[in-house]
Amino acid sequence: MRIDIKDILGKWKEYTLFNDMGMTVSVLDYGGIITEIMVPDRNGKFGNVVLGFKNYTEYEQNHSNYFGAIIGRVAGRIEDASFEINNQPYHLEANEGHHQLHGGSKGFHQVKWSVTPFQNKKAVGIRLDHKSIDGEGGYPGNIDITVTYTLTNDNKLTLEYSATSDKTTALALTNHSYFNLNGDLKNTVENHHVTIDSGHFVELNQELIPTGRLISVDETSFDFRGGRLLKEGFEDVSVQNKIAGKGYDHYFVFDHHLENNAVVQESSSGRIMTMKTDQPGMVMYTSNTLMDGLELKEGPSRRYLGVCLETQSSPASLHHEGFPSVILPAGECYQKQTVFTFGLQS
């Protein structure tokens, strides 16, 4: 195992984690962006299974897709870019219509993080640290955040998030990697077979804002408990699939009945990715609105080219009862973990 460090554009550094099995994970200190994950297919050929720009300047200039980045302070959409804590109103930047998306235009995806590499007999990784000051982006509290990426020899990539705030605040951190198990963008994710341990998802309105209703997945294209191909949702004519741009951009609440919270399989490559987390749910986004023609590492972008598994609590909790809360009380420790394991179908 080892870590390579490369200077990027004279202002950033890219850290590449190598395990003894040949898997690599590359991460920028800018945005904590995962730029590449190389894993083998059934024939032993390594390929990149995440979307990333060919020209790294695009991460700064064209950041609206959030490729591979750490998202915060609050991942997802906050209705009317405002919320209250203990009857105190807080007003945020509206960067998507009247609403805020992914922490606003100056969110953690644009922060240059302080990085500390580490290595031991079992793992290699990096620790990323950032301090967000009270009032930044309209959010209360001085908050210290640490995100740790760890790679082991059993091809597990663990993302750990920890934070503390001196004021009660809203916090929901996630990573926004777009996965494509075909490798090197050979195809879209339409034939990715996905299993999700979830019996309910959050209903969205026409602006992709949660309505406050949880909907049963029974007899819908949102029922992934037994697994299904993503293209079934792309082709579905139901209102919720159409609202999301003929696909998925919805929060799934985990049941915690199955061994894994989610499993993604791609039959032509033989790759399989399992995901386990202590988060209460995740947004699955299937790049329904990804624009054509962005210059990615292996070719041009297009619709349905990746699937995001954004593990987090729900910002809908700021306006509706009955959703996993994003409120972090002053002095308490925010501690979350998500583990992605890469393997091959048996």
Give the end-to-end CA distance of the chain in Å, rounded to a whole number: 26
pLDDT value at residue 42: 96
pLDDT value at residue 62: 83
Q: Is the pLDDT of residue 333 over 90?
A: yes
pLDDT value at residue 325: 96
Express each pLDDT in 45-82 by its tens digit. Answer: 999 999 999 999 999 988 889 999 999 999 999 999 99
Look up 332 and say whether it is catalytic: no
Reported pTM? 0.96
Reference 327, options 173, 212, 210, 168; nearest CA is 168
CATH for the 2-184+270-344 domain, from 2.70.98.10, 3.40.1000.10, 2.60.40.1180, 3.90.470.10: 2.70.98.10
pLDDT value at residue 47: 98
pLDDT value at residue 63: 81
Express each pLDDT in 126-185 by its tens digit. Answer: 999 999 999 999 999 999 999 999 999 999 999 999 999 999 999 999 999 999 999 999
Give the mean model confidence (pLDDT) for residues 4-32: 97
Q: Is the pLDDT of residue 5 over 90?
A: yes
Tell me the C-alpha distance between 337 and 329, whole Å.
Answer: 19
Q: Please answer whether residues 310 and 159 qualify as being in contact, where contact means their C-beta atoms are separated by less than 8 angstroms.
A: no
Give the mean model confidence (pLDDT) for residues 253-261: 95
Tell me the C-alpha distance between 123 and 171, whole Å.
Answer: 28
Tell me the C-alpha distance between 278 and 311, whole Å.
Answer: 9
Give the mean model confidence (pLDDT) for residues 19-45: 97
Delimit the domains of the chain by residue range.
2-184+270-344
Tell me the C-alpha distance between 273 and 27, whole Å.
Answer: 19
User: In residues, how long is the chain?
Assistant: 346
Question: Strand order in 143-152's β-sheet?
Answer: 114-119, 123-132, 143-152, 156-165, 333-344, 271-277, 262-265, 193-196, 228-229
Query: Which residues are CB-contacts of 110 (< 8 A; sequence separation ≥ 6)?
Result: 30, 31, 60, 63
pLDDT value at residue 346: 80
Look up residue 255 and give its two tokens.
Answer: 């049941």
pLDDT value at residue 324: 94
What confidence tier does 307 reach under pLDDT thresholds 50, 70, 90?
A: very high
Annotated active-site residue in 102, 130, 176, 200: 176
pLDDT value at residue 260: 97
pLDDT value at residue 41: 97
Give the mean model confidence (pLDDT) for residues 26-38: 98
Q: What are phi and psi of 245, to 5 degrees?
A: 90, 35
Q: What is the distance, to the nearest Å, from the Cα of residue 260 to the centroid of all Cα atoms in its chain?
A: 17
Residue whose tokens read 């979830």: 198
**Percentage of the chain surpassing pLDDT 70?**
100
Q: What are phi and psi of 80, to 5 degrees?
A: 55, 20
Q: Please answer whether residues 306 and 289 qualify as being in contact, where contact means their C-beta atoms are separated by less than 8 angstroms.
A: no
Q: Is the pLDDT of residue 23 over 90?
A: yes
Look up 176 and say whether it is catalytic: yes
In which element (H, E) is residue 310 found? strand 307-312
Cα dihedral 153, 149, 117, 17 sign: positive
